[in-house]
Amino acid sequence: MIDAKDSHSTRPYLIRGLYEWCTDNGFTPFIAVLVDDTVRVPNEFVKDGEIVLNISFDATSALKLGNDYIEFKGRFGGIARDILVPVDRVLAIYARENGQGMAFPLLASSVTPSPGVESDVQTVTLTSVTSDKADPGNPEGPRPTGNGRPSLTRIK
């Protein structure tokens, strides 16, 4: 019998499932990634240590959603780049059009604090700014971002 601690992470399977759900429903799958030195992305597009990547069929070439890495070629500013994202660095996968998806907790192995500094694991919550439903935690409704797109909001 396999012990739970010896089994594979569910994260890559959930990412693949939500990717498939997005594409089957005509949505554009985006991933939010916490960037460190193990992530290979164009650094000029990293903001506050994070990057959001469009992983749709139209935006990528040779996309591989593996158990350990997400790999593809993508164009940034018209330049083709090789992208490599360790699965444990993915904060969320969601549909651009409605913000539906899943946020993941940071794994303990993903948090690398500076020497002598204790790390605080942060929770990430997906919110849709285009939703017609009232949010019980926000009676004024969703906050518009100015461009009408869903956004990823970090709750600390």
pTM of the model: 0.68
Residue 25 pLDDT: 97
Return phi, psi of residue 84, to 5°: -140, 120
Of 106, 148, 98, nearest to 128 by C-alpha is 98
pLDDT digits 0-9 by tens, 25-82: 999 999 999 999 999 999 999 999 999 999 999 999 999 999 999 999 999 999 999 9
Number of separate domains in the chain? 1
- One-letter-per-residue 3-state SS of the chain: CCCHHHCCCCHHHHHHHHHHHHHHCCCCEEEEEECCCCCECCHHHCECCEEEEECCCCCEEEEEECCCEEEEEEEECCEEEEEEEEHHHEEEEEECCCCCEEECCCCHHHCCCCCCCCCCCCEEEEECCCCCCCECCECCCCCCCCCCCCEEEEEC
Task: Supply the CATH number for residue 143's domain.
Answer: 2.30.30.220
pLDDT digits 0-9 by tens, 71-119: 999 999 999 999 999 999 999 999 999 999 999 987 655 555 434 434 3
**Which range of residues forms the domain containing residue 115?**
4-155
Residue 9 pLDDT: 87
